[in-house]
A and B are shown apart, each in its own frame.
Chain A
């Protein structure tokens, strides 16, 4: 064991492999809790879509499929740069790592900006549930449920993206200060798992909300 890994190894572990596999397993367990955290909202979606499907189709028609598709593409791009960022850190390419982490953060921020415009548009169209809600359709009351779920779920997702962007910036600074080096790549790998998870959630939100009433 060289001196670089020596300081990386926490005192409760015997070997660096043990520590790495513990870190990864811990993160995957955390991601399972995240699945269940979003699960409550998915359950709500399932129950109400089952109960009044046609209201959902009509309401879904008011979301912009193109914007949703761009959202998805941006997040997929960010996942690619994230994967390369982890690789660069492992290879000890300091400036490359900083660049890729920065680009990932920019994609994340881009997603938030596009979504901000969508929210603004929906606000002006009176699609936000509550007193000012207006909807020309068969069942304006229950249409609110679709938009309530849409805002709650995408809002929670955007919060996750925001946390991810902050995380990327912090990691970039840590790489710059050489607090994160190739021996400590695990921090970036773990953050990467989180980032990809946020991408996966969107992969489901896009068809459930934007595409349900595309026709």
Chain B
């Protein structure tokens, strides 16, 4: 009898986890870590929403409120969203999608997790000692001169965590270039691989600029003079240039992987090939590259030159083209598909709707004159939450459900899953749609008190947030439940295409017993039956019979 290779989960010692080189285990380490940061940042959000139920600042002082939105922003952006799909799902799935045994540099992969932990500890240290009140953007001169909070330790935390994302990006790029299975040509890659490659490009080229910028800001804070200091001819707007050179592309770190996941989900649950594969793949790369030349739209009212503003406005419009291509192609893929509304599909459909709203309101903000009206209002807050939460978090949840059987070997409970997806969708819209109206009516962001006429919308928003909270808590509970009591999953419970489904669930340590050979494009769902098309070689065999 042939010996079955051991599942990657077989070893149970703490040592086997903390010293693992296995990309799948490292993905799980990241998952556990980001859940902690998500929870802390969510508590901050909940406190803010509760404060905003009444127009008076009666729950927290303005100073505490400033610290709440800062910690919410810093943790959600750098310690949850940026590692969410790339470092968790990407780490787990990418090598399997390529038919590889592991990433190119497994030891560096583990190192990236430890660096991430170190960054997280610094950020938490800052939080415990009183937090930071600058907002997640750390604008100078407030951060470098005037703020009396723990700016440096928080910036150091972000600086350190940045290197973990650089290492992940570098590792993914080399893995995609060098570790593809025989026959897996570039245009046979699953679209998640394309989007993770594009994401890695941004991580590698943008993150170091953030690192040096935060370092310069911190040196200025310690030394008393610095590069952004007007006393010696410096310009605080330069900080904004450098900060947004990273942070705008970082928005694409927070949406591109989500787009990749959605491409996987849409094809699988409508049993169809993706419409216009080449366009969707190229759109990922176009978004990554164009994302680097639009940062000035965050600075329309910051004192940047008008001509610069016009150019950044036009360039920002251009990014909407590849984004729209993706939305059209997903919709066209759904057309005439045999659609099943499993939980991951509900999240994917939710993603398309919410991302479209977020993207279109982004165009409002890219228009110079409209932006002057809504800058620093709740309109902006609603817009980027539609992208980052409505887009990325929905995609992350969808992907987590989709690959959960692969990761754990167990199915999640389907009914509870659908319920949670619905609750999340409703709660999200109730939370953030009223904020568009609030912002348009003139409610500025980052205030703990406000005129009474805005109260109605704030109450709607807080009510929505509590529903959203339930929507996130529910999966947490049933995922835990499923680990012990969930139905045992087969190797390919969704009858999906893709190399990751050709291994057992959970996969053995080196993923494949034998390196697979790829002979055709991805998403080869038969147009009539919706089943996976038989492989070329096999087809010849049957016709011979």
Contacts and interface: CB of A to CB of B under 8 A. Distances in A.
A–B contact at 8 Å CB threshold (below): yes
Interface of A: 10-14, 18, 21-22, 25-26, 29-30, 32-34, 36-41, 43-44, 47-48, 51-52, 55, 129-131, 139, 141-142, 144-145, 148-149, 152
A26 B227 contact: no
A139 B232 CA distance: 10
Most buried by B among A12, A130, A148: A12
B225 A26 contact: no
Given A33-B204, A145-B233, A12 B227 contact: no
Interface string B68-82: 000000000000000
A129 B232 contact: yes
A54 to B, nearest CB: 12
A10 B510 CA distance: 13
Contacts of A40: 208-209, 212-213, 216, 242
B106 A43 contact: no
Contact of A37 (B212, B226, B231): B212
The list of the 6 closest CB pairs from A to B, nearest first, reads A40-B212, A142-B233, A37-B208, A12-B102, A144-B232, A36-B208
Given A12-B100, A38-B212, A25 B178 contact: yes
Chain A binding surface SS class: helix
Interface string B198-211: 00000011111101
B372 interface: no
18 contacts: A10-B106, A22-B104, A25-B173, A33-B205, A39-B212, A40-B209, A40-B242, A43-B241, A44-B227, A44-B238, A48-B234, A129-B232, A130-B225, A131-B224, A139-B233, A141-B233, A145-B227, A148-B232
Interface string B526-543: 000000000000000000
A43 B242 contact: yes
B241 A32 contact: no
A26 B105 contact: yes
Contacts of B216: 40-41, 44, 152
Contacts, number: 108
A14 B512 CA distance: 13
Contact of B211 (A37, A47, A141, A148): A37
A22 B209 contact: no
B241 A36 contact: no
A46 to B, nearest CB: 10
B468 interface: no
A21 B232 CA distance: 47
Contacts of B266: none
Given A40-B209, A44-B238, 19 more contacts: A12-B100, A13-B179, A25-B173, A36-B205, A37-B208, A37-B209, A37-B212, A39-B212, A40-B208, A40-B213, A43-B238, A43-B242, A129-B232, A145-B227, A145-B232, A145-B234, A148-B226, A148-B232, A152-B216
B233 A48 contact: yes
B48 interface: no
Contacts of B171: 26
Contacts of A11: 101-102, 510
A152 B227 CA distance: 9
B463 interface: no
A22 B233 contact: no
Contacts of B56: none
A12 B179 contact: yes
B287 interface: no
B223 A130 contact: yes
Given A12-B103, A144-B232, A22 B208 contact: no
Interface in B228-245: 231-235, 238, 241-242
B437 interface: no
A131 B520 CA distance: 69
Contacts of B100: 12
B227 A22 contact: no
Contacts of A10: 106
B231 A12 contact: no
